[in-house]
Amino acid sequence: MSKYIFKRILSLIPTLIGVSFIVFTLLYFTPGDVVTATMGGNAPKEAIEATREALGLKDPFFVQYGRYLKNAIFHLDLGKSYITGEPVTRTLAQVFPNTLKLSFLALSIALFFGIGLGILSAVKKYSVWDQISMIFGLIGLAMPIFWSGLLLILLFSVKWGLLPSSGFASFKYMILPGLALGLQSTAVILRQTRSSMLDVLDQDYIRTARAKGVKENKVVVTHALRNALVPVITTVGLQMGTLLGGSVLTETIFSIPGIGRIMVESIKTRDYPLILGGVLFIALAYCLISILVDILYTLVDPKIKSKK
């Protein structure tokens, strides 16, 4: 297992290089640059060209990318912001904890309600509870994050005044963005849990356990849920990556100082080092979550450990 994990960690290097190359290429060939965006089209041509020369923007594509890749690999240096002049690594490290807090809160909400309602829906198949759960799941899948976020602000902040609509000062500020971000993931986990539980509950060993007089709660939790968790864990891992990406909209709506909001502001000013650094941070987190999911597989199903 340790060799497998080591190989997966090594595979992060080509993955991140590939991500950086794709994003760098897209940014390089995008019309316009940070100089014209900040100095304006009426600035003297000599000043614009001098600024581009100082920033290294006049170098060929492979020279710029090779310089960026060399600094990133050997010095862990993602460059400096074109706007503030601050190191990108330091800027992202300051706000990335906020993005992680928001994502983990949203994931906790999704796990609690998604798995709970999924189990209830499977055990009470075709009942009123099942229908309510499936309607909730459809609403969660159909409602985009920016729409649900605005509705939560109008309801809980504007109309009732119960929760703040922006900021990230305390846990109270995290509730609304966590709910908005976690709603869609709740629906996805709910549907996957229900489907997996229905497959397991029809197995012979479940009927045998019930015939032996095992309590229903133990049958559901100990026998059925554990065997149904492998596909659910896969879904949860994918949803964590989705939550990190979805935080871009959520942080913008709720004015949360996180990577998503910084990336949106960087796109407006064409601050390419911050954009690229933010994408790499999210890609790295997504890859690490994928490795963690593989480790969780072995804890849930020992047979998987023996194969690795």
Residue 42 lies in a domain: no
pLDDT, residue 230, reads: 80
pLDDT band at 65 (very low <50, low <70, confident <90, very high): very high
Residue 248 lies in a domain: yes
> What is the DSSP code (8-state) at residue 213?
T
Q: Does pLDDT of 85 surpass 80?
A: yes
Q: Does pLDDT of 5 surpass 80?
A: no
pLDDT, residue 263, reads: 87
Residue 237, domain extent: 97-265
Share of the chain above pLDDT 90, in %: 15
What does the pLDDT look like over 27-41, one tens digit per residue?
888 877 777 767 766
C-alpha span between 301 and 188 (Å, rounded) = 22
Measured from the Cβ of residue 123, the count of other Cβ atoms closer than 10 Å reads: 18
Residue 200 lies in a domain: yes
What does the pLDDT look like over 107-148, one tens digit per residue?
999 999 999 999 889 888 888 988 888 888 888 888 888 888
- The CA-based angle 95-27-43, given to 5 degrees, is 95
Burial of 215 (0-12, 13-18, 19+ CB in 10 A): exposed
What is the identity of the amino acid at 253? I
pLDDT band at 154 (very low <50, low <70, confident <90, very high): very high
- Residues 6+ positions from 83 with CB-CB distance below 8 Å: 34, 38, 266, 269, 271, 274
C-alpha span between 165 and 153 (Å, rounded) = 6
Q: Which residue has the higher pLDDT, 32 or 64?
A: 64
pLDDT, residue 30, reads: 81
pLDDT, residue 47, reads: 81
Residue 68 lies in a domain: no
CA distances from 301 to 18, 37, 71, 196, 216 (A): 32, 54, 42, 15, 22
* Bridge partners for 87 per DSSP: 80
Closest CA to 223 of 190, 201, 191, 194: 201
> What is the DSSP code (8-state) at residue 219?
I
pLDDT band at 225 (very low <50, low <70, confident <90, very high): confident
pTM for the model stands at 0.82
pLDDT, residue 83, reads: 83
Residue 272 lies in a domain: no
pLDDT band at 1 (very low <50, low <70, confident <90, very high): low
pLDDT, residue 248, reads: 82
Sign, CA dihedral 80-83-84-85, equals: positive
Residue 304 lies in a domain: no
Q: Which long-range contacts (CB under 8 A, 24 or more apart) does 202-206 make?
A: 203/227
Q: Quick one: residue 215, left, alpha or beta (phi over 0 = left, psi -120 to 50 = alpha)?
A: beta
Average pLDDT for 282-302 = 77
Q: What is the CATH number of the domain that holds 108?
A: 1.10.3720.10
pLDDT, residue 18, reads: 92
Q: Which residue has the higher pLDDT, 241 or 136?
A: 136
168-182, 185-199, 286-300: the lowest-pLDDT one: 286-300
Mean pLDDT of all residues belonging to the chain: 84
pLDDT band at 6 (very low <50, low <70, confident <90, very high): confident
pLDDT band at 210 (very low <50, low <70, confident <90, very high): confident
Assess contact for 241 and 289: CB atoms under 8 A. yes
pLDDT, residue 25, reads: 92
Residue 120 lies in a domain: yes
98-107, 184-193, 240-249, 259-268: the lowest-pLDDT one: 240-249
Q: Does pLDDT of 21 surpass 90?
A: yes
Average pLDDT for 164-174 = 86
Could you identify the residue written with the tokens 């990336």? 263
Q: Into how many domains does the chain fold?
A: 1
Closest CA to 8 of 281, 284, 278: 284
Average pLDDT for 171-188 = 90
C-alpha span between 241 and 282 (Å, rounded) = 8
Average pLDDT for 79-97 = 88
C-alpha span between 177 and 99 (Å, rounded) = 11
> What is the DSSP code (8-state) at residue 281?
H
Residue 92 lies in a domain: no
